[in-house]
Structures are given as structure tokens and as C-alpha cells.
Amino acid sequence: MRRVVFDTSIWIEYFKSNPVFFTICQSYLDNASVFTLEIIFAELMQGAKGQREVGIINGYFENLHKLDYEGLVYEAGLFSQNEKLVARGIGLIDAIIIYATVINNLQLWTLDKKIGGYLDSRFIFVP
């Protein structure tokens, strides 16, 4: 089973129980093949509607493999500058997600067309 990072957009579809995403997401979660970043869950928390959702999001965050380390955000900023990601319409949060995915040789599952247009296909998760 491939090791994958779910972008915020995928988590939203999973939490909505969208059948196009839910079963595949659940399979990867059950096999401990999902990795994440604090910034992804910060975005999810920002959109949480009430304490029930906060608790659910927190439960997933506590149990996933984290890619965060000191200096990651700074390195991702350098990466973004070198790759001219801002000119491609890719902001810092997405640059962090892209950078962490690439340096850890993972695949990113995203609905963001700008990210999909930038990343090499070996780093894009296609279910």
C-alpha cells in the first residue's frame, strides 16, 4: 500500500462521508498509511463547526504519522522561492505540504489543480 498525505480538501470530503473518497481514505487509515502535517489539521480546525467536530479532528491528528520537524516551514519557504511557486498561484501552506510530501517520498492526494499541475506524477496519489 502506498504512503499518502491527504490534503485538506480530501479530509473535508472524508469527514462529509463522500462515498467517492470515504472508502479509499478509510482503507489507508486502517493500514496506517496516512501521513500528515500540523498545518493541514490547523486548516481543518479553523473550519470546525463546534466542539464535536473539534474532538473528531483532534482524534485523527493525535493518531496519524506526523511529518513536522523544526525548520520545515523555513525550508518549505526556500523551496517555494526557488521553485517560484507564488508565481504559479501556490501559497505557503500548499508549499509546505508539497515540500514535505516530496522530501519524504510520499504521494499527495489533493483536489487542488494548481498543486496537481506542479507536482511530478510520482508524487500525486491517484486512487
pLDDT tens for each residue of 61-110 = 999 999 999 999 999 999 999 999 999 999 999 999 999 999 999 999 99
For residue 1, pLDDT over 90 is answered with no
Sorted by sequence, the CB contacts under 8 Å of residue 95 that are 6+ apart come out as 76, 77, 79, 80, 83, 85
Residue 64 domain boundaries: 4-123
What's the confidence (pLDDT) of residue 41?
98
CATH assignment of the domain containing 64: 3.40.50.1010
110-to-16, 46, 48 alpha-carbon distances in Å: 16, 19, 20
> Chain-wide mean pLDDT for the chain?
97
The number of folded domains in the chain is: 1
